[in-house]
């Protein structure tokens, strides 16, 4: 086992995928010589060449559009959207072409495209650099959506996403890039199943379901709580694996869902609806959500008031138990 940051684990995962399959091609703004703004692709152009790690123009629609053509020609493109708020110029390509080509071609044309997007706040960035657009992609049939929460998961799931024949929107929690954890660099993880939730902490009183940047926050809240809190990392946002959540709720009777994105129409609403349908007679309180507020992401001086924190998670746990 090797201790790495999430950023280094992603770099190692990309490197291994490129070593394994010569059809894997990386594209994005400043990902080559610079190694990306977060240095996720650092050193890859030097080792694999400019024909496989391509510095693209500043045009997200062109980046994703080129990836569609490459996928049609048998390549496995991995594109980087430099920041979450920059993905919208490519939204038409993603939802109209990437998501629908397989079905439109009646299965004749696969679309093994991975779209890497650093997302979420907490780094003191300027406008359009701290958004959480996951609900748009989860709502779009034909896309798979993954988000790792620790270095081990990042190393595994980036390779599994690249090996997948379906398009994957791969959301990287940017404020967790520098979190460290153990990674098994010797493991062959390509054939594993990333489309599942992970039980990270066992508990008996309340279930907390979360993903991406909120996983660490929820684990810290569970450690600080006066009650026994079970923490589940959803990891795969589409398809959603709610079997572990349902099994947990059947034991605890309480569920709190936590994410950074705004509340209305967020993934927490989908989790709450499905668990209420499946576990109605087990629930002892309504499913509660701890989320960002229904406002545009604020200026960096105010973002700590927008982002769910340990106190807000603990307050929801207390409210659920007091119902």
Residues marked active site are found at 129
Nearest to 155 by CA among 181, 183, 131: 183
Cis peptide before 148 (omega within 30 of 0): no
In 3-state terms, what secondary structure has residue 201? strand
C-alpha distances (whole Å) from 47 to each of 13, 35, 57, 175, 208 are 14, 12, 22, 27, 42
Burial of 319 (C-beta count, 10 Å sphere; 0-12/13-18/19+): middle
Gap between the Cα atoms of 130 and 127, Å rounded = 7
> Looking at the DSSP assignment, which residues form a beta bridge with residue 181?
4
Helix 243-252 × helix 267-279 angle, to 10°: 60
Gap between the Cα atoms of 20 and 138, Å rounded = 29
Q: Which two tokens stand for residue 137?
A: 């992609």
């Amino acid at each position: 086992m090797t201790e790495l940051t999430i950023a280094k684990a992603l770099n190692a995962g990309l490197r291994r995928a490129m070593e394994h399959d010569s059809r894997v091609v990386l594209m994005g703004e400043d990902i080559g010589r610079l190694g990306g703004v977060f240095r996720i692709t650092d050193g890859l152009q030097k080792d694999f060449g400019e024909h496989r790690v391509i510095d693209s123009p500043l045009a997200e629609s062109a980046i994703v559009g080129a990836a569609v053509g490459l996928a049609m020609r048998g390549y496995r493109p991995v594109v980087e959207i430099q920041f979450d708020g920059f993905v919208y110029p490519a939204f038409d390509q993603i939802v109209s072409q990437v998501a629908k080509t397989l079905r439109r071609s009646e299965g004749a044309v696969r679309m093994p495209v991975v779209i890497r997007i650093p997302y979420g706040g907490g780094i003191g960035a300027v406008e359009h650099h701290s958004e959480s657009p996951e609900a748009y992609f989860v709502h779009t049939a034909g896309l798979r959506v993954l988000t790792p929460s620790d270095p081990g998961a990042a190393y595994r799931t980036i390779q599994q996403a690249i090996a997948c024949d379906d398009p994957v929107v791969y959301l990287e929690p940017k404020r967790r890039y520098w979190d460290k954890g153990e990674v098994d660099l010797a493991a062959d993880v390509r054939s594993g199943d990333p489309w599942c939730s992970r039980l990270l902490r066992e508990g008996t009183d309340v279930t907390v379901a979360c993903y991406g940047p909120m996983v660490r926050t929820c684990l810290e809240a569970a450690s600080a709580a006066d009650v026994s809190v079970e923490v589940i990392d959803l990891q795969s946002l589409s398809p959603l694996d709610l079997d572990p959540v349902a099994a947990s709720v059947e034991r605890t009777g309480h569920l709190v869902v936590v994410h950074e994105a705004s509340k209305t129409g967020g993934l927490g609403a989908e989790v709450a609806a499905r668990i209420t349908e499946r576990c109605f007679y087990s629930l002892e309180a309504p499913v509660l959500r701890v989320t960002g507020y229904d406002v545009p992401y604020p200026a960096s001086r105010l973002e700590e008031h927008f982002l769910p924190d340990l106190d807000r998670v603990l307050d929801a746990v207390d409210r659920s138990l007091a119902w």
